[in-house]
Amino acid sequence: MPKAIVPPTLDTYVTDWKMSPGLQHDGFVFMTGFTGASADGKYSDDPAEQIETVFAKIQAVLEEAGLGFEHLVEMTSYHVGLRDHLEQFRSIREQYVQEPYPAWTAIEVTGFVRDGAVVEIKCIARKT
């Protein structure tokens, strides 16, 4: 039976959007796509701040599930202006991901649900 993984800092995903930040099933944790919106719903003009915020949300879900970044098996990142902030993204990502590195796909998109977002990341983790 799937189990919702809802860190207290991300409970609005359930109340406002009717989705789980993470869903644990058969040893895997499937995460929803996270953008870099702050707790008050605003986006920084600085892509690095948004990227850091996304990784903090991923970390919160992993920790709530009793996991860490070493448990990531797949990461998909979606970017507006990918080439403009790819090096920043890679540098920040390197602070979090660990060997063995998860599979990763980066995709350029034209926009997200809300204006101002430059990145969205979804991940899959597995308890080993």
DSSP string covering 63-110, please? HHTT--GGGEEEEEEEESSHHHHHHHHHHHHHTT--SSPPEEEEEE-S
Structural domain that includes position 92: 3-126
- Inform me whether the pLDDT recorded for 116 exceeds 80: yes
Considering the chain, what percentage of its residues have pLDDT values greater than 70? 100
Q: pLDDT-based confidence at 98, cuts 50/70/90?
A: confident
Structural domain count of the chain: 1
Question: pTM here?
Answer: 0.96
CATH number of the domain where residue 30 is located = 3.30.1330.40
Distance CA 112, CA 39 (A): 18
